[in-house]
Amino acid sequence: MNCGHAMSSGKVLRRAGSTNRRGKFLWIAFVFGAGVLCVPTRANAQIPKADAKFTEMNVTFHTTTDDKDHDTRVEVFIVQVNGSPALAYLDIGGGNKPHVPNSGFPNNSTSMAYLVPTFGPGFRFQDLKNLKLQLLVKMTPSGGGGNDNWKFWADAKLHFADGTTAVVGRTPEVYPHAVGGRPQSELFDLSNAVVQPK
């Protein structure tokens, strides 16, 4: 359909424009009654596929003013808000054998980016909102009576099979206190992750 001849009120129309080595363009027609406003935009702007399968997540921890001990075990999950089984999982380490102690997270430090793979049935892009998915970080002090406090925030990148990347730029800062060897968990919302352009 020609942009100048679009007449249907209230619709947004798209058609391919010219192509060159610098990339494709789309014409977006904003239709108001008989008037049309055409705005060029790049065709490589990412439109995620709703059914694109999750493949992996990169998560980084930013420790602020209270470190995590080297022998405190950390596990990372993606879970549904209703507490259903994990859809992604990684055991970072620390804690009792056979879990290998990690280097700990010192005050005012940034960890490596950990790769969290899909787990169980996995999920699709549309499930981020539909299932109200959450990032769960669980810390367990070493031994039967270990104690640890850890003050941190995190950022995450979720990757999908169609090349989509959705980013949680910065979670709220949290301060879990794990006492007597009992685990403590923190939950962060993933439903508002922002899609990044390719």
For 105-149, what is each residue's pLDDT tens digit?
Answer: 889 999 999 999 999 999 999 999 999 999 999 999 987 678 999
Q: Flag the least confident range among 19-33, 57-71, 156-170.
A: 19-33
pLDDT band at 46 (very low <50, low <70, confident <90, very high): low
Helix (H, G, I), strand (E, B) or coil at 195: strand
Asked if residue 48 is part of any domain, the answer here is: no
Helix (H, G, I), strand (E, B) or coil at 91: strand
Q: What is the pLDDT of residue 84?
A: 81
Asked if residue 47 is part of any domain, the answer here is: no
Residue-range definition of the domain harbouring residue 31:
3-42
User: Is there a contact between 105 and 68 (Cβ–Cβ < 8 Å)?
Assistant: yes
User: Is there a contact between 64 and 153 (Cβ–Cβ < 8 Å)?
Assistant: yes
Q: What is the pLDDT of residue 133?
A: 97
Distance of alpha carbon 92 from alpha carbon 87, whole angstroms: 16
Cis peptide before 98 (omega within 30 of 0): yes
User: Is there a contact between 66 and 175 (Cβ–Cβ < 8 Å)?
Assistant: yes
Assign residue 138 the CATH number of its domain: 2.60.60.20
Question: Cα angle vertex 127, ends 121, 128, to 5°?
Answer: 115
Q: Burial, 125: exposed, middle or buried (Cβ in 10 Å; 0-12, 13-18, 19+)?
A: buried
Asked if residue 14 is part of any domain, the answer here is: yes
92 closest CA partner among 110, 121, 63, 70: 70
Decide if pLDDT at 67 tops 70: yes
**DSSP 8-state code for residue 7:** -
What is the number of domains present in the chain?
2
Residues 35 and 101 grouped into a single domain: no
Residue owning tokens 């490596």: 112
Q: What is the pLDDT of residues 75-116, one digit of tens each?
A: 999 999 877 889 999 998 875 555 555 668 889 999 999 999
